[in-house]
Each structure stands twice: as C-alpha cells, then as structure tokens.
Structure 1
C-alpha cells in the first residue's frame, strides 16, 4: 500500500558547507511503561531518493541517468514498496519488516528552516526549535524531562552525548573503549565516605550504573573494531540488549556517519545502507519480545540534490526520506505528499521540495508512542511549532499519559 498525496506546497530550504563525525555513538534514557524509542541520526546528509527511490516518477531517471536505482525486477533493482516507490536493494535485511507491516517510509520531509550547512542542519534537527543555535538542549532530552526524567534516567554510550539528548536531564556517559571500569568494592567504600553529600552521592550513583552497563557490554566491545560497519552493528546489538533489561533504559540514540556522497555515491551507499540494515536487524534480534513495543526513527539532517553531479554523486539538498520501523510502527505503506521532480516542482530547480515538516514526524511519534500531549509538544518540546501538526497513524496503539 502506498499513501501518496500530490501537493506543490513549498517551504524553504537554503545554503552552505560540511562536517562528518567519526565513530557511531549510542545513548540511552528511561521512560515509563514498555515502550522503546530508538533515534538513529544519519550524519552527512543521507540520499532519501536512493533509500526510497521514486521509481514511478519518470523525471527521477532523467535527473539521474547514471545513479538512479533500477526499477523492481531489473538487475540490482529496488525492492517494491507499492507501484510508485522502491527500497534500496542494500536495505534488504529490513525488507521483511515491510512485509510484516513494520516499516513506514515517510518521504519529502524537511526542516522548517532549510540550510545546506551540515553544522546548522544538524543543530536544527536536534535542538527542535526550527533554527540553528535555537536552544542549548535537544528535543529528546526535553521529552524525557516531560516524562518525569531524573538524573538517574539517562545513559550515553559513546564518546559524547549528542545535542538531541543534552539538557536538564543528566545523561550518564560510558564509552565501549576497553578502559577499566571501577570495581563495586571501590564504589561501595566511596559511597560510605560521601553518603551525606548529595552531589557526590548522586554522582556515585551514576558511576555505579555505568559500571553495571559496562559489565554487560564489555564482553561484546573489548576489542576495538576497525570496520565501522561491524562497530555500528555491534553497538546496535548492545543497544537492543540494554533496552531489553528489566528496569533499564527505554530511549536510545545511535549515530552513524559517512552519508555525504558527493562522488561515486552508489558504491558508498550500498555499503552504508547494508551496514544500517544489518544494525537495525541486530537491534531487532537483541530486543527480543520488546521489539513489539519499539519505534526506530532513522533521520538525517537533509537530503541530496535531485540531479546527479559530474562525479556520479549528489550535493547537499533539501527534502529527504525518514524511515520508521519497529513492532509498534503502523507500516506496510509509504506516507508521502509527493511534490514531483519536474523542473518547476523542484526547490530552487535542484532539490526535492519538502512537503512535510520533520517536527510533525517527531511529534506524531512522541504523542502516540510515548503519550506526550500535543499542546506540550508545541510549547515545550518544539517551541512555537503549532503549525507543524503531528502526523497521525504512525504507531499501532496510541498511548496517553
């Protein structure tokens, strides 16, 4: 089933430059109930028109004579998502989720204030205010705070806590780098020494929780992975195992890099999509039965240009595809207000037009999966965003606080 509406409504997306971060990172936090939420940030500008190719739009093949994904049934062709869209063939490990109704691509999604700068676009994606440098904290941290988050509820596994999860809720950090972990006996003695000091008591509680997490994951991460894809897959497997722990974390963020494909993009994307799909499948397997209560949200800061460039790649663009999957997702369809790819339909005659505000996707998940009321979403979580109404029917069972 493909849910497509055609609309030429256009909201802007602008200009600029570049960073790509290093290794994948993983962060956690708790929420009440059995719901799990995993936000995967794909840094560098993932090409949504390769991830979810508009194989039914004839202009797609005219704009990309060398790099367009072939139609389903052709050699190296897309996996069918109905008559109009196709999934990149390297995402095959998650195609069974489509067949089970657990994969929901959302296309032509964009930022409310566009920019082609990686720095600014990632900041907008994570701070939730609709503008770069609009807040010091991230929308996911504010959501956890609204859910009653405390200093014991956050955990970050990775070199740093991403902006999306920074804020008033303190997020513990631990990096699976093979560094020694404090022994329980040592923590017990220090806890007694500082039991009357609230600050040190709270800090030591965080250290103890980090030590517990370390003991669960050190076995899987005691050797440094040279292959970034294997490292990402291992982190996803660890994420699922930790999310499946009783009274453990319920919200996770994972970062994957390498999506800036200015040249020879087909080979690079085949590897990246394969690594992403393997990671998601590892996450699913390690979550076990908790997969049924999980939403995985895969997002990138912007899409790529509609036209291929001279290096058989694409440049920084505007609208993109967002992928939702999980047992709690109401999938088996593509949600898209498709603007078309003719010259007059492209933004600035180069990009896919954004017809859905990305905050509408986030709001739909937070409202229906985590039970955060819409007025709070528009005031506190995504300030001054009443015009970006939550998307409906993203999850199977809506939760209300």
Structure 2
C-alpha cells in the first residue's frame, strides 16, 4: 500500500483518487472547492461518471479514501498526483498551465517526506515537466518529479483507470519508475503494457493520441461532405475502409463531430506549442481537422433549416441530447448545444432534453428551453434532431414518438438511428453524409 495525495479533485482527480483507493492505496484528495469536498466525502461525485459513486462509497467505507481542503493533510504522502485542469487560454490557442503551477507549488510547500514523488497527470504543453522539475529542485529538493499522462474516456473513466490499455511513465530515475510500478502493480500484473519514457515523450503522448483521434474523426466527416456532394453513403464507406486492419472501424462514425473539454482544446494547444518550439509546420494539418469539425455544426443547422422549409422563424425544434457525448453530463464545447443555440438565434423555438446534462445546460444556456423526457421535448415539433447518441434516444420507438410530433421529420446528427425502422414508421429521415430518400 502506498500513501497517495491527489491534488485537484475535478473530473480527472476524483476518478483517480477513487480508483487508487480501489487498488488498495491510502488516498487523500486535496481540493480547494469546499462544496466539492463535501460532496465527495458524502460519496457523491459532482459530475456524472458511471460507476464512480459506487467506487467512492467503497473507498470511504474502507477508510482508505478521504477528501479535504487542508494542504497539511498531504505532508507525509509518498506520491502526490497533480490532476488539475489545463483549459484553453482566453483569446488564444495555448493551454493555461497556471493551475498546474499552483498545484505543484502547493505540493512543494506542504509535502515534507524526503524522496516523495510528484507525478503530473494533467495534459500539458511539452516542456512543462522539465520546467517544473527545475522549480522543485530549487524550492523542494527533497521531492522528485515524474510524468504519467492520463488517457481517460468520459463515460468509461473508471475502467480506463483500473484497467488501462497502457501506462506511460515519464521518469528520470529507476527509483521513480519503481515507485510508479508499485502504485500500478495490480493493472501491470493484469497485463497492462508499460512504456517508460523521458519527460518530453510522456507529455507528448496524450496530446498526440488526442490529435490522432481528432484527425480520424475529421477525416470521416470530410468524407461525409464528399458523400453528400457525390451521392455516397458515409456509413457504408466507413464500413468498407474500416475492415482494413491498418485503419480499423473505431472513431469512423461520421456525424456532428467532437467536443468536450479535451480534444478541441488539446489540438489547439498542441498547434500553439509546436509554433513555440519552432515546429509549427508539423501540425498545420490540425487547423483543417479543427475546421472540418466546426463545419459539421454549421452543416447540421443548414440541414435543419432546410427541413423546416427554409426558415426557422416560429418553428418548433426538439433536440435529443445536450452533453457532448453519451454517458456524461459534460457540456463543454458541446456540438449539441452549439447547434441548438444557433437554431434559436435564427428564430426557432428549441426544446432540449438529456438524461444527465440538463442542470449543467440550464446554467450555461439559460435562454434555451428544456424538457425532462424525449416525448416532452418533441411535443408538437416540426423536426427532431438527434445530437447526442444516448442509448435511450437511439432505442426510441419511432411510432410512439410520432404520436406527439407535429411532423415526422428526424435529422440524425450521429448516424445512430435505424434508418429503415424510422422510415417504415413514416418519418422523413435525414443524416449527415447519407443519401436523402
């Protein structure tokens, strides 16, 4: 058992703390938000993540897990994970690492155990770790830095932490590697591959992975644009190329594109950092990746207005989904809310529903209208938009939903619905990148 501090208990930190306790370690989560501390100590995650509440409850009941706002609680820990956010700087592409700097300074000021390991998990621009290591050497020479990037998928974060598909350990000593191997002994024993690297490679691993995934999504969405122009079907095209083992079918689902708190800001920060280190030409393709992604939202608005007869003014629109992806209540850079807001600005009466994200959506977009169920959101609408592919929306009965709408017209922004089933129920079905029948 290792004594662990997790500094920053937002999405990444709360999940990591609970999972480390589940692996048998003694964990204290340090968080400045007192309301969040109280919620976590009650076993309630302040966001939706499947399985996390159960994990919190077990960790708290075992006595291995606790949360506090008092930095004195981390004095004797052996390992301190830095799990704070790195949002996009206002008005810039670059990442804001001020929270990482502040968290590292807190650890330096309060962890007194000689030889304790400070481990960065936050997604940072390459070059951040060496700078922090130099700062620790100056202010807290009894501490050592390592970098261990996270690769979590929202909605699957618990499994991704307990059974990761790889562990990347950016270390400068055999001792630091040994400590991290002990922390992750259970998944390593279960066969999780370990990649031991320098700081720069560890920092690059996360943003490179996200950039590749974003590129793959934008590639198939570019093919969707071509399919619409040429009369092809992007779903069948994705199946055709996805059978190639060198390509694979995952992340080839054309539709509204990506959003959330990671992919959009990470690829922009990656481009910004490449420019700072003199390698801006290497990542210019990411500008088009970003542009393709944003075009999907405009295209969805255009298709919706076309489906409304050329004007959204006074027309009623039912929107299924507010979160940027299913199994999450995260609405950061949500394509669904972006489309809904654009349609409202063009005069539509937009009503949104979502199983988990309504409270967050109301806080950020109070001017939009919300409903607790799909049936309520679609009451009397002229068009239904599926914008987040929650299973309960994909599995809706088109005959039943057809009894509450004014017009049976559905726009599938995620290519997730059974086309034949909806058409058989008398719906005019339209989707991005597919022929309109």
User: TM-score normalised to the size of structure 2?
Assistant: 0.22
Larger radius of gyration: 2
Q: Which has the higher helix share?
A: 2
User: TM-score normalised to the size of structure 1?
Assistant: 0.23
